[in-house]
Amino acid sequence: MARATHGSRLSDAGLALRSLRAFRGGLVLLALVTVLAATALSAWPRVSSMLLTSELRHELTQAGAGGRDVTTTIRTGSFTAGPVLDAVDVWRDLPAIGRSVRQGMRPPLRAVAGPGDSAARSYDVPIAPPAGAASNSRYAVGVEAYLGLRDQARLLSGSWPAPVTAPLAPPPAGGSVVEVVLTPEAAKLLGWPLGATRPIASDPRLELKLTGLVEPKDAASDFWNLDAVRAHGHFVDAGDAGKEYGAVAWPDPGSWPVVAPAFGGTVASLWFPVAPSAFRVEDLPAVRGALGSFLALPPVARVGEVPVPLTFGTSLPTPLDAFQSRAQPANTLFAILAAGPLVVALTVLALGARLVVSRRREALALMAARGASPWRLRGSLALDGALASVPAAAVGLVIALAVTPGAVPVLLPVGLAALCALAPPLALVLAAGSLTPRPVAPPARSRWAWVAEVVVLGLAVLSVVLLARRGLSAPASGLEVDPLAALTPVLVALAACVVVLRVTVVPLGWLTGALRRGRGAVAFLGAAGSLGATGRRGRGAVLWPVFALVAGASIALFSVSVLATARDGLDQGARARVGSDLSLTAASTLDTGQLAAVKRIPGVAATATVDWAGGVAISAGGTTEVVSGYLVDPKQLDGVQRDLPASARLSTLLTGGLPGRTGAVLGGWESRIPVTSALIVGQGSNVHLAVTELDFAPGVYVRDARWAIIDRSTLPRSSEVAGAPQTVLVALAPGADAAAVHSALARIGGKGALVGDAVAERAALHASPLVAGTEAVALLSIALTALLCVAALLLTLVMNTASRIRLVATLRTVGFSARQTAGVLAWELGPVLVVGLIAGTVVGLLLPGVVLGPLDLRGFTGSPVQPAIVRDPWLSAAALAGFAAVAALATLVALAGARRSSPAAVLRAAGDLPTTGGQ
């Protein structure tokens, strides 16, 4: 008895192994799908992290040291508030103060802030002017000591300054000479030749001698970037009050204890360089929290025995906020673009499980006949699936880790790979259904199917309604994915499948009835077969390929729209910030010759002039303010801003107000209520304005916090508001060389002119990691979706191979020609392909308006206004043509496979088939 039991178990094991070897093709297919899904899912969070971290570092790098470093100052002198400090003591204690402050930072902030650096500089002290200088011109230098000067600067000519060790000599002794170095630009600005000596007007004991000229080794380093005066000096034209020239001069840092007492006051600067390369997007909340705590509770340093509270400041939150406004919608877009291939991969997995189970049904029936319980059979299926999926998921995880080196998330990819490993065994168990011997007739459709369909339709409608009612949503406080926007495309695609399967039966029924009365049998047999496939009993089998097509086509079209909308938004955003393709703003005004020269530049299609009107007093919302006034002609503006969105087009905003009033656009207006009308007061006659408020400057020529752009074509002369041309906006002709036009504008504008270049801005935005990465993710999403759709269609054909071959054999036996047989088979996928592509196209064209409309893309595109949804017809047509070509190729493969079979052999094999319900 024991031997019989042992033999029975051995026989079961042998049968299971033989079955596993016999149906290894289906398991290999599940393994391939698992590898692909595990690779994509495991790589997704790491790729997202890499892109966001790269964008964060790019944003911080673009901000420069002045936009990210943490800085403070300690002042000495008679007119300094707080404790009286000695400049020499401050200089001596600065390095220790830097170490102490950094040690007191919380670890997240200390990880991104480097060791403190410091310098000490005198207040600007007047020096003797060069020969021939105007009598009302003033020259001054700030004498600065910096220990790391020789590391930051390169000596071009002359020599480094020698240290001063002896005390400064009193006036009768003729004064002490302190050697200094300057940058060439600063020396030229001051008219200071190498080797010349300049006395300090405020202290006759001190004379400065220029012994060398230096230049920055790295102009982007924190030392030079924090203060542009160090490298370039400064110049102020005060009009009738004269001109002011200033620069920074560096003595040997060892001279500072000697020379510092000669100045009326000094400023010691302490800064902590913030390293963009030290940032990771995962650590951003902790860094922001530590920075806020550090700024809210300023540390107290000791200079000698005197406690000194240090007030630190930084502009770091500004680039971090700019990054967040770009990254949050981008993160949601990543999730939406990843959802397309994911849901199609699940479709392929379901089809693969159905294929494996259908081909193993006979073996399972034999095992059940030998006494195997349903749980044991399900366990056998799950084990077979795990043998294929677990190694495949591990391979996918390894591939994902290999293609994303250096990315931070590890546990999440491992968890996602584990889910991919569990999915095939679970899919096989669910696809098996009842493991009792199947009846001849297929089982009735579950009574709960209609409940599931209603739930899907309800969730899809609810998600669309919620998105529409929510309106334009600003980015959240973090970088979390918007779950509503991410799930809506999947729900809408699944709802479209339900509707398609319900609705397609009606026209197919009409078509079958009409073809029944026709002469030919090909169309009738094909239509009848399609009607059976999409009917009540066959709807479950058709659901998955239809869903793959609808989801694939819709996500592909959505990805195309994302690409087109992002590119158009970047272009419009750059032009809205500049005011046109290019602009030229003079240091003072533009004369008629300059305006005419701009129009003659090759490649310039149209120009518009902006007049500077000085200060204009405007009364609105119960307050009166003097704002910077600009006068424009809407007709001219329309020629250079025609392609801008209406919300950023000044010509539209200026002419869309109340009739009979002068149009105006206000910015920076401080009022508690929205302003729609205003009054120009205090000059000539009062002028009623029809006002539109903007929260952004519509051009780089707008430099003040409060401004007004007024329609000069409807402005009464009695208002006495007039201006002179200061800016010219330029629209480029198609194919024009933007760089050449830029150079010509700079040459015409002369010294001090500002050239705005939307083309260069757009190129810089395209070069950012986030924009380039989003485009790559969108293209990869389209490619993966198309590949998986091919797999879904091929699986659908493979599942019906046996019945298709038997049908071909039967048709050929009764006299159908090869051409007629091909026509009947073409109906197998024809309705599915046509209806799936049509539904996918409709969903794909509707999704951008549903999902992208409420998603705030202004930060992502850099546009001051929400970009319009763009649907590129050529790219969309190419994507649909690709899907149609793939479907046609899959159908041809099925036809070729069916034709290769011998009708006699197939019919003989069909007659020998057992009656257990196997396929």
Q: Which of 241-255, 447-461, 515-529, 864-878 has the highest mean pLDDT?
A: 241-255
From 263, 291, 308, the end of a domain falls on: 263
Q: Answer for the pair 215, 150: CB distance below 8 angstroms, yes or no.
A: no
**CA gap 766, 861 in Å, rounded:** 9
- In-domain check, residue 6: no
* Closest by CA position to 35, among listed 365, 291, 397: 397
State the CB neighbour count (10 A cutoff) for residue 733. Answer: 12
Q: Does residue 538 share a domain with residue 642?
A: no
Quick one: pLDDT band at residue 828, thresholds 50, 70, 90?
low
**What average pLDDT does range 442-455 have in this prediction?**
66
- In-domain check, residue 59: no
Residue 162 has pLDDT above 80, yes or no: yes
- pLDDT at site 804: 59
Residue 273 has pLDDT above 90, yes or no: yes
Instruction: Give the list of residues 6+ apart from residue 588 with CB closer than 8 angstroms, or none.
Output: 726
Any long-range contacts for 370-379 (C-beta under 8 Å, 24+ apart)? 370/8, 370/11, 370/12, 370/15, 371/8, 372/12, 374/434, 374/435, 374/436, 377/432, 377/435, 378/429, 378/432, 378/435
Higher-confidence position of 437 and 588: 588
**CA gap 782, 892 in Å, rounded:** 23
Residue 106 has pLDDT above 90, yes or no: yes
Q: What is the DSSP letter of 657?
A: S
- pLDDT at site 134: 82
**What average pLDDT does range 588-598 have in this prediction?**
89
Quick one: pLDDT band at residue 856, thresholds 50, 70, 90?
confident
- pLDDT at site 102: 93
Quick one: pLDDT band at residue 526, thresholds 50, 70, 90?
low
- Percent of the residues in the chain that have a pLDDT greater than 70, as a whole number: 80
> b vs e for 743-765, b when ≥16 Cβ sit within 10 Å of the residue's Cβ?
ebbeebbeeebbbbbbbbbbeeb
- In-domain check, residue 131: yes
- pLDDT at site 405: 86
Q: Does residue 860 share a domain with residue 719?
A: no
Each residue's pLDDT tens digit, 371-390: 777 787 778 788 888 888 89
Q: Does residue 745 share a domain with residue 784?
A: no
Q: Does residue 237 share a domain with residue 193?
A: yes
Each residue's pLDDT tens digit, 458-514: 888 888 888 877 766 555 556 677 788 888 888 888 888 778 777 766 565 555 555
Q: Answer for the pair 493, 547: CB distance below 8 angstroms, yes or no.
A: yes
**What average pLDDT does range 347-357 have in this prediction?**
77
Q: Does residue 498 share a domain with residue 365?
A: yes
- pLDDT at site 496: 81
Q: Answer for the pair 91, 268: CB distance below 8 angstroms, yes or no.
A: yes
- pLDDT at site 782: 81
Q: Does residue 784 share a domain with residue 720?
A: no
Report how many domains make up the chain.
3
Q: Does residue 815 share a domain with residue 745?
A: no
- pLDDT at site 110: 93
- pLDDT at site 20: 57
3-state SS, one letter per residue, for 14-82: HHHHHHHHHCHHHHHHHHHHHHHHHHHHHHHHHHHHHHHHHHHHHHHHHHCHHHCCEEEEEEEECCCCC
Task: Classify the C-alpha dihedral 747-751-754-757 as positive or negative.
Answer: positive
Quick one: pLDDT band at residue 744, thresholds 50, 70, 90?
very high
- The rounded mean pLDDT for the chain is 80
- pLDDT at site 445: 52
**What average pLDDT does range 584-599 have in this prediction?**
89
Quick one: pLDDT band at residue 867, thresholds 50, 70, 90?
confident
Ordered DSSP codes for 262-285: GSSEEEEEEEE-B-GGG--GGGHH
Least confident residue range of 265-269, 422-426, 801-805, 839-843: 801-805
From 723, 752, 781, the end of a domain falls on: 752
- pLDDT at site 441: 45
Residue 635: domain span:
587-752
Residue 2 has pLDDT above 90, yes or no: no
Q: Does residue 528 share a domain with residue 591?
A: no
Least confident residue range of 107-116, 351-360, 903-912: 903-912
Quick one: pLDDT band at residue 17, thresholds 50, 70, 90?
low
Residue 635 has pLDDT above 50, yes or no: yes
* Tokens linked to 865: 């206004």
- In-domain check, residue 171: yes
- In-domain check, residue 482: yes
- pLDDT at site 533: 47
Residue 155 has pLDDT above 50, yes or no: yes
From 216, 232, 263, the end of a domain falls on: 263
- pLDDT at site 375: 80
Ordered DSSP codes for 293-348: HHHHS--EEEETTEEEE---B--THHHHHHHHHHHHHHHHHHHHHHHHHHHHHHHH
- In-domain check, residue 431: yes
Q: Does residue 777 share a domain with residue 721?
A: no
Residue 439 has pLDDT above 70, yes or no: no
Model confidence, pTM? 0.80
- In-domain check, residue 557: yes
Any long-range contacts for 130-136 (C-beta under 8 Å, 24+ apart)? 130/190, 130/191, 130/192, 131/191, 133/191, 134/242, 134/243, 136/241, 136/242, 136/243
If DSSP codes are grouped into helix, strand and coil, which group holds residue 580?
A: coil
- How far apart, in Å, are the Cα atoms of 510 and each of 36, 507, 514, 516, 659? 42, 5, 6, 10, 59
- Residues constituting the chain: 919
Partners of residue 77 on adjacent β-strands: 265
Residue 290 has pLDDT above 90, yes or no: yes
* Tokens linked to 17: 């192994």
Q: Does residue 253 share a domain with residue 169?
A: yes
Residue 207 has pLDDT above 70, yes or no: yes
Q: Does residue 642 share a domain with residue 514?
A: no
State the CB neighbour count (10 A cutoff) for residue 704. Answer: 13
Instruction: Give the list of residues 6+ apart from residue 598 with CB closer than 8 angstroms, or none.
Output: 584, 604, 607, 728, 730, 745, 748
Q: Answer for the pair 393, 349: CB distance below 8 angstroms, yes or no.
A: no
- In-domain check, residue 694: yes
Residue 13 has pLDDT above 80, yes or no: no
**What average pLDDT does range 605-626 have in this prediction?**
85
- Percent of the residues in the chain that have a pLDDT greater than 90, as a whole number: 21
Least confident residue range of 750-764, 821-835, 892-906: 892-906
- pLDDT at site 909: 45
Least confident residue range of 97-101, 576-580, 820-824: 820-824
Quick one: pLDDT band at residue 529, thresholds 50, 70, 90?
low
Quick one: pLDDT band at residue 129, thresholds 50, 70, 90?
confident
Q: What is the DSSP letter of 172?
A: G
- pLDDT at site 26: 66
Cα–chain-centroid distance for residue 533?
44
Please give the helix or strand (H or E) that residue 650 lies within, else none.
helix 650-655
**What average pLDDT does range 430-447 have in this prediction?**
58
**CA gap 260, 263 in Å, rounded:** 6
Q: Does residue 609 share a domain with residue 563?
A: no
